[in-house]
């Protein structure tokens, strides 16, 4: 193969990979902007599109969980929170939100385990432990 063909091939491959990487960031940033504007339907589509290009982006799954929370779709919220925790077991917000969801569903064992996990991993949002414990106390069997 001639040097010109090799350079052309490298140039072409570089452009493809660069455009895919920048489009992934674009999808997430557009989705976040729409989410902040409370345009949940449009942002959901963009977060899902981001996941197609970057299936390990825990932030997109977390935002989808928040959207499903506003839609009161507990099944999809839980699924997305579980994905976040699978990708990053130390994601404080995901563990916190999943614990709240388990309390809402009256899942004593599941919420108890998540509260204990939250206590172990919390760094930035440890003050939220009190909220979990108060809500959990109402769930405790008597």
For every one of its 142 residues, what pLDDT tens digit does the chain have, with 9 covering 90 and above? 666 666 555 555 555 554 444 555 789 999 999 999 999 999 999 999 999 999 999 999 999 999 999 999 999 999 999 999 999 999 999 999 999 999 999 999 999 999 999 999 988 888 888 888 888 887 766 5
Rounded to two decimals, the pTM is 0.79
Dist. CA 129–CA 135, nearest whole Å: 10
What's the rounded Cα separation, in Å, for the pair 23 and 11? 18
């Amino acid at each position: 193969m001639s040097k010109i063909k090799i350079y052309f091939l490298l140039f072409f491959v570089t452009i493809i990979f660069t455009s895919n990487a920048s489009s992934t960031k674009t999808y997430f940033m557009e989705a976040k902007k729409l989410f902040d504007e409370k345009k949940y339907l449009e942002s959901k589509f963009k977060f899902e599109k981001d996941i197609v290009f970057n299936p390990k982006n825990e932030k997109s799954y977390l935002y989808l969980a928040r959207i499903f929370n506003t839609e009161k779709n507990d099944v999809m919220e839980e699924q997305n929170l579980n994905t976040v925790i699978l990708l990053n077991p130390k994601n404080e917000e995901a563990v916190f939100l999943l614990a709240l969801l388990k309390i809402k569903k009256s899942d004593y064992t599941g919420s108890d385990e998540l509260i204990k996990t939250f206590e172990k991993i919390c760094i930035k949002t440890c003050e939220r432990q009190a909220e979990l414990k108060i809500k959990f106390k109402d769930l405790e069997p008597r």
